[in-house]
Amino acid sequence: MTAASDLRFLSTDDGDLAYLDTGSGDPVVLIHSGYVDHRVWRDQIPALAAHHRVIAPDVRGHGFSANATAPFRWADDLAALLRHLDAGPAVLVGLSMGGVIATDTVLEHPGLVRAVVTSGAVTGDFQYTDPWHEELRAESARALAAGDPEAWLRSFLRVVPGPYRSEDDMDPDIVRRLREMALHTLAKHTPDEKDWLVRLTGSWDRVAEIGVPVLALNGSLEPADLHAAAERLTAAVPDGRSVTVEGTGHYPNLERPRLFNDTVLGFLRSL
């Protein structure tokens, strides 16, 4: 994994935001999923950096970035980083929470975005409605409210295989890596900490504003409502494409890294 010494930091009015900046060429931004950090892209960074400038931030409150102490928006943090690095328009590749950040950013700062790849996400308005995810959200909320990191971690790791498999079906190294990153982020926070994130609402009603190519890249073992939402997203934009990675769940970049990389690189070559 990336050493902390490889990271750079953007100074903001509310603390420093960490990011990795490597490679050269057209910029590609890798935006990680919730509770982890840029290291979730370990298998993607070298493959993409062989042809592109790769920027992989730690979202505020995650990894090596500062926690929020005032209201903020994900899209504004990312826009500030891209402007600081003179790296726009960039292709945004977002995983889960990172996919929401990608679509938020193209809606709020369209001039900074050349194309979008979402995986395990569509827009911030989408929420899983199946009983498995509803149970998981309740379980996670109870653990956080009780200040029980191990109980919370157990619920978090259930997302890795998804509703159709168990953790025993997963490569233990994937589970170990996610556990390590999640514990690092969780240690930065307290149960009674205020959530300063200002969420973008009404995004589903605005997807027709997206004027750049969008690739929805999802694991075949994701619930049907996510696949339906991804098709809705790609149908609403002028150049929308959808690809399914067979035999994978919420983290296709970890389970099938070579196929994930080849698909993203093929998308990048088509732009």
Domain count for the chain, please give it: 2
Within this chain, do residues 140 and 227 fall inside the same structural domain, yes or no?
A: no
- Residue 150 pLDDT greater than 90, yes or no: no
Decide which of 140, 156, 186 is a domain's last residue: 186
Summarize pLDDT for 226-271 with one digit per residue, the tens.
999 999 999 999 999 999 999 999 999 999 999 999 999 999 999 9
Q: What is the mean pLDDT of residues 109-127?
A: 95
Nearest CA to 181 out of 73, 63, 101, 90 is that of 63
Within this chain, do residues 105 and 226 fall inside the same structural domain, yes or no?
A: yes
Decide which of 186, 210, 227 is a domain's last residue: 186
Residue 81 near residue 55 (C-beta atoms within 8 A): yes
Within this chain, do residues 154 and 243 fall inside the same structural domain, yes or no?
A: no
Residue 230 lies in a domain: yes
Within this chain, do residues 108 and 208 fall inside the same structural domain, yes or no?
A: yes
Write the DSSP assignment of 185-251 as a string of letters: HHTT--TT----B------GGGGGG--S-EEEEEETTS-HHHHHHHHHHHHHSTTEEEEEETT--S-
Within this chain, do residues 23 and 106 fall inside the same structural domain, yes or no?
A: yes
Within this chain, do residues 123 and 136 fall inside the same structural domain, yes or no?
A: no
CA 224 – CA 141 distance, rounded (Å)? 24
Residue 176 lies in a domain: yes
The count of other CB atoms within 10 Å of the CB of residue 20 is: 22
Residue 155 near residue 174 (C-beta atoms within 8 A): no
Using pLDDT thresholds of 50, 70 and 90, give the confidence band for residue 3: low
Residue 33 lies in a domain: yes
Q: What is the pTM of this model?
A: 0.96
- The residue type at 83: R
* Mean of per-residue pLDDT scores for the chain: 94
Residue 191 lies in a domain: no
Nearest CA to 116 out of 207, 248, 41, 197 is that of 207
Supply the range of the domain harboring residue 229: 4-127+196-270
Residue 26 lies in a domain: yes
Within this chain, do residues 209 and 177 fall inside the same structural domain, yes or no?
A: no
Within this chain, do residues 162 and 231 fall inside the same structural domain, yes or no?
A: no
Provide the pLDDT for residue 147. Answer: 80
- Residue 219 pLDDT greater than 60, yes or no: yes
**Residue whose token pair is 């903020």:** 72
Within this chain, do residues 174 and 260 fall inside the same structural domain, yes or no?
A: no
Summarize pLDDT for 63-80 with one digit per residue, the tens.
999 999 999 999 999 999
Residue 84 lies in a domain: yes
- Residue 151 pLDDT greater than 90, yes or no: no
Within this chain, do residues 228 and 243 fall inside the same structural domain, yes or no?
A: yes
Domain CATH for 203: 3.40.50.1820
Using pLDDT thresholds of 50, 70 and 90, give the confidence band for residue 2: low
- Residue 1 pLDDT greater than 50, yes or no: no
- Residue 162 pLDDT greater than 50, yes or no: yes
Within this chain, do residues 26 and 72 fall inside the same structural domain, yes or no?
A: yes
Within this chain, do residues 118 and 236 fall inside the same structural domain, yes or no?
A: yes
Q: What is the mean pLDDT of residues 27-43?
A: 97
